[in-house]
Amino acid sequence: MPIHENSRKSYKEQKAKGKTFSYRKEVYYCYTHGVPLTDREVIIALNEGDVNNVRPEITRLKQDGLIEEVGKVRCNYTGKTVRLCSITGVPYFQKKSSFRG
């Protein structure tokens, strides 16, 4: 599967911030408190300014079976219906980066 350009941009921005080695783990640990979260709640918990830095990680965690969508709710910030995700119980694992810059 080709890597989406937004994912490449997100990776470069996180690398510039020095977060590439643990950013996936930071996103994952937001879900470990037993409360399902929206993407926006994860963004706020990480004090991240750009949603595009977090959403690709959430999507990758979902693709890897570490988190799953458990419902939909109305976002308190945008008023739109958004996904609600929670951990699946699969033990966390760090993937090797497939990005080449």
CATH number at residue 34: 1.10.10.10
The closest of 32, 24, 53, 51 to 40, measured between CA atoms, is: 51
Residue 26 maps to a domain: yes
Quick: pLDDT tens for 16-62. Answer: 766 545 788 999 999 999 899 999 999 999 999 888 889 999 999 99
Assess if residue 93 is contained within a domain: no
User: Does 44 map to a domain?
Assistant: yes
Rounded Cα distance, 55 and 37, in Å: 12
Say if 13 falls within a structural domain.
yes
pLDDT for the residue numbered 100: 36
- Is pTM beyond 0.75 here? no
Number of domains comprising the chain: 1
User: Do strands 67-74 and 81-87 pair parallel, antiparallel, or not at all (unpaired)?
Assistant: antiparallel
